Structure 1
Amino acid sequence: MASHPIVELTSASSWAMIEDKFSPYAKETLAKLVKFMLDEVFPAIRVAHAQLPTDYDARWKTIIPVVADLKARAKQLGLWNLFLSKVHYPKFGVPLTNLEYAVMAEVLGRGGSLASEVVNCSAPDTGNMEVLARYGSPEQQQKWLVPLLNGEIRSSFAMTERFVSSSDATNIRTSIRQEGNEIVINGHKWWISGAGDPRCAIHLVLGKSDPNSSDKYRQQSIVLVPANAPGVKVIRPMKVFGYDDAPEGHCEIIYDNVRVPLSNLVLGWGKGFEIIQGRLGPGRIHHCMRSIGCAQMALDLMIQRVTDPSRKTFGKYLYEHGTVIADIARSRAEIEGARLLVLSAAQQIDKYQAKGALKEIGIAKFVVPSMALQVVDRAIQSFGAEGVSQDQMLAATWAGLRTLRLADGPDAVHIQQIGQRELKRAPEITKRNTEIKKKEKALFEKYGIKAHL
């Protein structure tokens, strides 16, 4: 076990638990991925940042050379579209389960957004490809899914709206209506990831198509909008704690009387909620998988820092001060626990699809990013001022993880849903304990003991 490459980047104990669930193909792919990360991706991270222009306008028009080269290399190695499981997408997927991909996503998470992009496994493209693979018409799949799978284009998912409490997606106001053989879209979106990328060719837009429907979950539809369609106005990229995430960005967009063919409707009128539930479930767990990798990366950096003899203070190693050792121990324990949550959710998706794993996905969604934030924060503290600077990837990692507590539904929504789900068990719990009490009473009487309760 110790010789397997997974141990280098994750956890020997976790791997021991799941190794027998990995197919020979998955083990071979994982080994190739780990080698690719160590030999080629990790050394390229700082290079990619250096190749991004400092000129503001140029940042949004640049395809980073080292990223393009790594994509070509990943394709050559067969490390491509690893997220799309053949179990659920037989026509387009790769022979990996969600559990197998969960481990690979953790490895990718250690390389930030660059690592996921170079193997064509980065959001929002992953979720959009799943939507098109599951719900798209053959025409839509040929026109948009195939180029996305090939990495020829990128995409965005336009759901969140400005001036609207978007944690409740039934609040969305963007209008989608039919006029003859066309669909007309009017709306104001923001935080639309990927829309700033020069390769972004298609927006999946969620809007309200039937505001008068008695079923509030049948009022919405999803339409495919080409990024260059007349009336699509990218207003500005939003910044996350000062980071603009160029060239992909998270953009504010106005759709001003945008017209697309009726054939650009996905699945059918009123199917928007059905689609986003199918999309967001796997997407949420993918984020959690990568977050485990972020936390593991931060812990490794912290351990290296506090054992560096050149960083001694007052004659002692940093780990000999204060609560550093306790912080390392807590971080290790928290990562191990969170990883089990993620692996459990991935296995549930494999067995029952996303709808059958809502509880596991929801718990992971509000536990894992918060855990990773704590671990990264401890690592930042060990680096002092350097930890919050651009010379370490910790600050950018923290900003991305903090965003995850809002993305795909804020923590409060998931906590509320899990709590309500638990409360539904009350009648069953009460019934079971009532039966136990009856049997308990009978035993007291049998043995002539006076009950005090």
Structure 2
Amino acid sequence: MDFAPSARSQEYLQRLHAFIDRHVAPFDPVYRRENAELNAGADWRGWRVHPRIAELKALAREAGLWNLFLPDAELGAGLSLLEYAPLAEAMGRYEFCAEIFNCNAPDTGNMEVLYHYGSEPQKARWLRPLLDGAIRSVFCMTEPEVASSDATNMRAQIRIEGDEIVVDGRKWWSTGIGHPDARVAIFMGLTDADAAPHARHGMALVPLDAPGVRIERMLPTFGEYDPPYGHGEVSFDNVRLPLDHLIQGPGQGFAIAQGRLGPGRIHHCMRAIGAAERALELLIRRGAGREAFGQPILRLGGNLERVAQARMAIDQARLLTLYAAWKIERFGVKQAMSEISAIKVVAPNMLQEIVDQAIQIHGGAGVSHDTPLTGLFALARALRIADGPDEVHRAMVARVELAKYGIGGKRGAAA
């Protein structure tokens, strides 16, 4: 196995780094300050996108740095998952960066769902505008009334009534629901409560302006609402839609979700690695530039050892994530479940630890809005819950490992 970036990946990466260095990095402190001024508070109805974002998106598209995640040479860059991984890492250095290249979650996952599973009319209505960056989308899976760490617990419904579907339920932590350009949600719900556990659910495309869809509130993460994206609680009350809004058909929800989440976790983890690289850089520059007790802070209190540990942890996480991407491409998502689960534990925990150390070395500045560190810490901590908590992923890794020795099920695991 060879994880070295291909010539095509290296060429895109060089262009991407040049664009980020020229346009994104200088704008980052301005964006963080002005976005907070534009979008104060929990009332998403007044949220606005910073005007510079649209300008940067236009520049990125002109530069051919658009839809880089999509393995289709006509609609995107045509890069494989392994080729795209270093690009995701580069975008992860700045929280808003992925949107500039139309590579932001949850839109990437939703576009992949439509690309792989959508009908031609669904692609024409929703995929094309998403690929153009004209609209944004939401993924509605997690529910407040059940333990969503077990996705089979979902109780929201998609009922088929003649030539219509009826969508009912309540979802929360629906990322991007507050964005002014959000137009459609992919909603996962029960289509047959009596079927096998992983054949009970389906996915439907729900326009956010459909009667019965109501955004109840935005949910803060450590007191921050993440405007103009937001993470919201949404109710779906007897939402009636044509049958052709169902993706693939009843009972296909988990199969679609598995196809969506495998590549998506590679994206998340590589962006987390990029964020960790930036946190480490901030730690080193701050530690080398400040003195206490007659010497640079970097040389006090075991900080050099922390730098070394951070370097090793980042490189380990990167190699594991690239291995997972390689295995997905070589053998498919089902054969890479252990590795996908492993990176989902390793990368966010690694990021959280390094950001915490960077905050510590910055002192009071580290917990202020003067640096991006509080935002990165919130991102890392939330990622340890999003797309499945650490415990669920550790259980998957353990289950696969025990199966190698013929040990399965609860009795076998206890033995």
| TM band (smaller chain) | over 0.9
- Separation in 1, partners of 2:189, 2:3: 41
Q: What residue is the counterpart of 1:400 in the other structure?
A: 379
Partner of 1:319: 298
Pair 1:178 & 2:164 matched: no
**2:101 is the alignment partner of 1:119:** yes
The aligned counterpart of 2:413 is: none
Q: Does 1:29 align with 2:24?
A: no
Q: 1:354 & 1:54 partners in 2: Cα distance?
A: 39
CA separation in 2, counterparts of 1:367 and 1:26?
A: 25
* Structure 1 residue 357 displacement after superposition: 1.9
Distance 1:60 1:172, change over 3 A: farther
Inter-partner Cα distance in structure 2 for 1:156 and 1:58:
15
1:219 aligns with 2:205: no
Could you say which residue in structure 2 is the equivalent of 1:151?
133
Equivalence for 1:76 = 62
For residues 291 and 379 of structure 1, what CA distance do their matches in structure 2 show?
A: 15
Q: Unpaired segments of 5 or more residues in structure 2?
A: 408-415
Correspondence for 2:395: 416
Shift of residue 255, structure 1, vs aligned partner:
0.3
1:239 is matched with which residue?
220
Which is bigger in relative contact order (C-alpha 8 A, separation at least 6)? 2
Q: Which residue of 33, 41, 61 maps to 1:50?
A: 33
Letter aligned with residue 195 of structure 1: I
One-letter code aligned to 1:142: A
How far residue 31 of structure 1 moved from its aligned partner, in angstroms, is 0.8
Deviation at 1:361, TM superposition (A): 1.0
- Quote the Cα distance in structure 2 between the aligned partners of 1:22 and 1:205: 37
TM-score for both structures, normalised by structure 1? 0.86
Name which one, 1 or 2, has greater alpha-carbon Rg.
Answer: 1
Spell out, residue by residue over 1:378-420, the C-alpha distance to the aligned partner (whole angstroms, 9 max, x if none). 1111000110111110011000110000000111001001101
- Determine the structure 2 residue equivalent to 1:436: none
Structure 2 CA distance, aligned partners of 1:84 and 1:357? 20
* Aligned length, in residue pairs: 403
Contact in 2 for aligned 1:107/1:293 (Cα 8 Å): yes
Matched, 1:62 2:48: yes
1:160 aligned partner, one-letter code: T
Q: Provide the identity percentage.
A: 45
- Which digits, 9 at most, give the CA deviation of each residue in 1:415-439, with x for residues without a partner? 00110110111149xxxxxxxxxxx
The TM-score normalised by the length of structure 2 is 0.94
CA RMSD of aligned residues (A): 1.5
Equivalent pair of 2:184/2:205 in contact (CA under 8 Å): yes
Specify whether residues 352 and 265 from structure 1 end up closer, same or farther in structure 2 by C-alpha distance, changes over 3 A only.
same
> Retained in 1: the 8 A contact 2:39–2:228?
no
- Of the three residues 277, 282, 292, the one matched with 1:296 is 277
State how far apart, in whole Å, the 2-side matches of 1:299 and 1:49 are. Answer: 20
Aligned counterpart in structure 2 of residue 99 of structure 1, from 82, 90, 112: 82
Matched to 2:223, the amino acid is: G
For residues 59 and 122 of structure 2, the distance between their equivalents in structure 1, rounded to whole angstroms, comes to: 28
Q: What SS class does the counterpart of residue 27 from structure 2 fall into? A: helix
Measured in 2, the distance between the counterparts of 1:252 and 1:427 equals 43
Offset of residue 66 of structure 1: 1.2
3-state SS in 1 of match to 2:124? helix
- 2:39 and 2:47 in contact (8 A); partners too: no
Q: Distance in 2 between matches of 1:58 and 1:359?
A: 38
- Structure 1: which 5+ residue stretches go unaligned? 1-16, 429-453
The one-letter code matched in structure 2 to 1:77 is A
Aligned counterparts of 2:62 and 2:31: Cα–Cα separation in 1: 20
Instruction: State the Cα distance separating 1:267 from its structure 2 match.
Output: 0.5
Of residues 342, 352, 369, the one that matches 1:373 is: 352
Counterpart of 1:271? Answer: 252
Q: Distance in 2 between matches of 1:187 and 1:36?
A: 43
Tell me whether 1:163 sits opposite 2:126 in the alignment: no
